[in-house]
Structure 1
C-alpha cells in the first residue's frame, strides 16, 4: 500500500533529520535554516498521506502524485546520507590527523565551503520539489491529520527488528555464549531482567539478535518477543508493539486497559523471552507498570534490555549488568576487510591493508565505526 510505504519513508527522513549524527553534521556545515525548512515541508506532506492512500483509487492522478512523492523522498534520504557521511569523514580526518600521509590522501576532502554550497543547493532542490508537490495536493482535497508530538520521528530511523544475517557478524561468539548461559540459568525469580550496556555503535543490538535467534534459546522459551522501545518509554505504544510482535495485529485503536488485558492473555503461563531494544528512558514508574503487566508469564521468563545509559540498568535490571566491550584488533581488521574490499578479490592490496590497519587501530573496536570507515 502506497501510504504505508510512504509514511515509513517520510518518518525515516524525519528521523534522520532529528538524529544526533545528522544534527551534528548540520552544525558543522551551518545549514540549519535549510534543514528546518525541509523538515517543515516534509511534515506538511506527511499529514495528508493517510487520506491520500485511502482516496487514490477514487481520484484521478493521485497515484501519480504519490509515485512522484516517493521519488523525492528517496532523493531526500540520499542527500541527508551524503551530508552525514561527509561530516563523518571530516571528523575522522581531524581525529586521525597524526597518521601517515597516505591516510590523509585516503580521506582527502573537497573544500568545505564548496561542499556546503553543493549540499545546500541539493537540499534547496529537494525542498522546492516537495513544495510544488505540496501545492498540488490541494487539487485532491485531502484531509490533514494532526501532527504528533514529534517524539516518534526522532526514533523512526533507528527502529530495529530481530532478523540478523549471522555471516555478517564478526567477533561476538564469546559474548553470545555468556548471555545465553545467563538466560539458561535457573533462578527463583518469576521475571528476570538482563541489561546489556555499551556506547552507541558497539553492537548491543547485534548481540541481542544473535542470542534471540540461537536455536538453544528458541527451545528454551515458548514465546519470543522483540520491541524497539519508544524514546519516552510510552507505555501504551510499548504494549502495542509487544502485542503486534506476538500476534501480527495492530491494536492502536484500543485503549490502554484493553491492551493490558490483551497482553496478559498473550503471555499467561507462557515462558517468554522479551527483548526491549535501545531503551533511553529511566522513568522507573513506567518501567514498574510494564514489569507488573509482564509478571503473568511462566516462571523463569526473561527480559533482555539493551541501553547506552547506566541509570536504566539500575532501575530495570535484576541480573548483573553485561558491559559490552569493543572488538579486538584482529576482529576489527576482519570486519574492516569485509566492508572495504570486494569478496571476489583473491589478493588484497598490501598498501590499502596497511592504511586500513592504521585506521582500525584508532577505531577502538567499535563495529559501526569500523564498518563505516571500511565502506568509505
Structure 2
C-alpha cells in the first residue's frame, strides 16, 4: 500500500520538536546538539517528500524508501513523547523534597538527559542514512505546496442536488421509465442493476431516480441502504427497517427482524436502493431477498455495483452498464467546478489548459470534479500546467488513474489535514461518526495546530 501521508507525519514531528518544553528539563550540550541535528535532518527530508509521494506510484524503490522513513519517524515520535512526559513530570516537582527524591529516582535529570541524548542520536543516525539515500531518486524540493481543503464522506444517502449533476439525463430517464413501467404493470419483485467502475456516478444516478417526483408517487414506501463490502444480512435487514420507519430498531435477532420487515412490506409497493454492493455470494443475496418478497407486486430493487458478476447474480432485468460522460458534458462539469466566478478574457489560456486536462480525465465525473475543485482556487497558468503535466496521467490502468487523481486532490490539502484524513483510514469502510467526535480524536492525537478553528 502506498504511504500517502508521510509528509504530513514528518511535519507533525517537526512541530513537536520545535514546541518541546526544553527549559523545563534543562539542556546538556549533547542533548541540544542532537535535537538541532534532528530538526535539520528532518527539514532536509521534508523538502522532497511531496515529490516522493507523487512518484511512488511509479517507483517501488521510492515507495520502499517512504516506508522506511515512516518507521523511523514512528520511532522518533515515541522518543519525543517520552521526552515530553518527563518535562510534564518535572514541572510538577515544585518543593525541595520532591527535587531531592527525584535526584535518587530513575528520573534523575542528569541520567535522563544522557539517556535521551543517546536515543535521539540513534534516531538521528537512522534518519541520516535515509536522508542520504534520497539523493539517488532525484527528488525535487517544494513540489505541490498545499493550498486547498476538502472533506468527503463515503457513507452514501438518498439526498442529491440535481442542479449540480450534468450529463446523466438520458440514463435517469431510462431508469425512471423502467421503474414506472414495473409499478404500473404489477410485475413480481424486480431487481435492476447499475454497473460500472468507480467514479462514473452510479450512486448519483440512483439518487436521481430515487428522488424523481413521479417515482416517489408510484411507490408506497422507499428505502436507501449503503451496503459496501459488509453484506451482513442482519445489519442490512435492520437498516432497511430503520430507513422505512425513520427511527432506530431495537430488534436484535435475525428471524424477528426479517418477520418485522415482511410485515412492514405487506400490501406496499416499495422501492429499495442497495448502493455499492460487493457481495458475490448468491446464498446471502437469496436470504435477504426472501424477506423482501412480501411486498406488493410492482416493487423494485435498484442495485449499484462495480462488479459485473454481482450485477448478473442479482438483477432480474438486463443491467445498465454506465458509460463515461461525453466531451461536452465533461467540459461543462469541469467549468462548473473550476470557474466558480465564470470565464472571462483573463483566463483564456486557462480554458485551453483546462480542456486538455478534461481530455485526460476520460469522461469520469469523479476525476473531473476532483481536478476542477483543486483548480478553482488557482489563477496562475503554472499551477494549471503542473496539474496537466502530472505523472498520474501516465498510469495505464484506468482504475489506478482515477485513484491517482483523487490522490492529487489529497496532495493539495494542508499538511495537518492530510494526517487527519489518513487517520480516518483506521476505521472500517463507510463508518459514520459525529463531526465533533472526529475532530476531538484529531485534536487528541495532536494533528490539528492550535491556530486552526472549526465551525
Q: Could you tell me the TM-score, scaled by structure 1's length?
A: 0.61
RMSD: 3.7
Q: 1:284 to 1:344 in 2, by over 3 A?
A: same
Q: 1:347 to 1:193 in 2, by over 3 A?
A: farther
CA contact (8 A) 2:269 2:296 kept: yes
2:233 corresponds to 1:232:
no
Q: What is residue 206 of structure 2 aligned with on the other side?
A: 208
Q: Kindly name which structure, 1 or 2, has the bigger radius of gyration based on alpha carbons.
A: 2
The 1-side partners of 2:306 and 2:291 are apart by 25
The 1-side partners of 2:178 and 2:266 are apart by 23
Q: Could you tell me the TM-score, scaled by structure 2's length?
A: 0.51
Shift of 1:314: 1.4
Q: 1:174 to 1:360 in 2, by over 3 A?
A: same
Q: What is residue 300 of structure 2 aligned with on the other side?
A: 302
For 1:185, what is the secondary structure of its paired residue?
Answer: helix
Q: What is residue 341 of structure 1 aligned with on the other side?
A: 339
Q: What is residue 181 of structure 2 aligned with on the other side?
A: 185
Shift of 1:345: 5.6
Aligned pairs, number: 258
Q: What is residue 167 of structure 1 aligned with on the other side?
A: 163
The 2-side partners of 1:234 and 1:176 are apart by 29
Q: What is residue 158 of structure 1 aligned with on the other side?
A: 154
| 1:276-322 deviation line (CA, Å, top 9, x unaligned) | 00000111111111111101000010000000001111111001010
Structure 2, unaligned runs of 5 or more: 11-49, 59-64, 85-151, 375-455
Q: 2:281 aligns with which of 280, 283, 291?
A: 283
Q: 2:354 aligns with which of 353, 356, 362?
A: 356
| 1:210-268 deviation line (CA, Å, top 9, x unaligned) | 00001010111110110001413100010111011111222255211121121112111
For 2:157, what is the secondary structure of its paired residue?
Answer: coil
CA contact (8 A) 2:251 2:257 kept: no
Q: What is residue 267 of structure 2 aligned with on the other side?
A: 269
Q: What is residue 312 of structure 1 aligned with on the other side?
A: 310
Shift of 1:159: 1.5
For 1:184, what is the secondary structure of its paired residue?
Answer: helix
The 2-side partners of 1:230 and 1:93 are apart by 26
CA contact (8 A) 1:230 1:238 kept: no
Q: What is residue 331 of structure 1 aligned with on the other side?
A: 329
The 2-side partners of 1:244 and 1:363 are apart by 39
